[in-house]
Amino acid sequence: MLNDHILSEKVAIITSGGDAAGMNPAVKSAADYALKNGMEPYLVEWGLRGLIEGWIKPATPERLSGIIHRGGTALGSSRSKRFYEYKFREQAYNHLQEFGISKLVIIGGNGSFNALNQFYVDFEVPFAGIPATIDNDIPGTDYCLGVDTALNMIRASVDSIRDTASSFSRAFIIETMGRDCGYLAMTSALATGAEVCLVPEIEYDLEAIGERLREQRAAGNKYILGIVAEGTGMGEPLTRWMGDALGMDSRLTVLGHVQRGGSPTVYDRIMAFKFAGAAIDNLRAGETNKVVTFKAGSFGSSSIHEIADTQHECDPELIELVRGLSC
């Protein structure tokens, strides 16, 4: 067992913002890896609100046991508007001082990283960020924790919808999450063989889509699947258009928050271990305000300023693969 002399630094681990499968494996692996490398890990419950309230506990084996397979975040999350006020950030800092915690690992998205960046500006508490959002819309990284699990949840749902679509010769429109990023919709459309895909990144042409679908129907296609990103606002309009333009019974399925849930896939669990190890290594190396990134198959890090000042762009190869489903 590591003694008190070796455990010289204390690090707190937080999950913040929208939940994503992979957060729990990241929490456990960050705590385990920190302990292995001479740091004493703590857990903050209920995100930024927990920092303000001082809901901080040691990362004991009992607390970490049995969470790796669970979806969401066992620590809880919150979107705390109070954290944007200096007096509440100061309150959070005082709680960290009480515990002797000098560094933070935050698992979340852009909003969470920006909040801790301001916290660093105020009190110089270094943090390492682990990108976790099913939207996959954080600049500088090809992958965020939770994306693979979300894609598998969508794939399972679309496969089930296909059964009833084919049984009744219907058109089904499935709306995915992703805010203004169409990654989930594009990847799911390719993986499920959808006939239509509308995303913010690609200009669509309903007239051309209608002509293509009528030809497919004439050739024997008995049903139609369309995947729509929520950022387009086209879920209901496209469903009505399918009925009018093609004369088909058309239905809309909004998957909603089912995409956030589910036990994390093997890929998300392994990526969580790798992201967490890199985050702890960054802190041990003295880096501050860095977010772990995964780019072109390699792990690295970007400053919060690089991420904040960069516009996220989807993989252009993915966009080209999907373009034919939008016209």
Residue reference for tokens 């190869």:
317
Angle between helices 266-284 and 23-36 (to 10 degrees): 40
Torsion of CA 193, 196, 199, 203, to 10 degrees: 130
Smallest CA-to-CA distance from 150 within 182, 175, 115, 177 is with 177
CA distance 12 to 310: 28
Residue reference for tokens 């904040």:
308
Angle between helices 206-218 and 235-246 (to 10 degrees): 50
Distances (CA, A) of 115 to 82, 141, 316: 11, 19, 30
Phi and psi dihedrals of 122, rounded to 5?
-75, -45
**First CA to last CA across the chain, in angstroms?**
63
Contact in structure between 123 and 98 (CB atoms under 8 Å): no
Residue 221 β-bridge partners: none
Could you give the residue numbers annotated as active site? 135
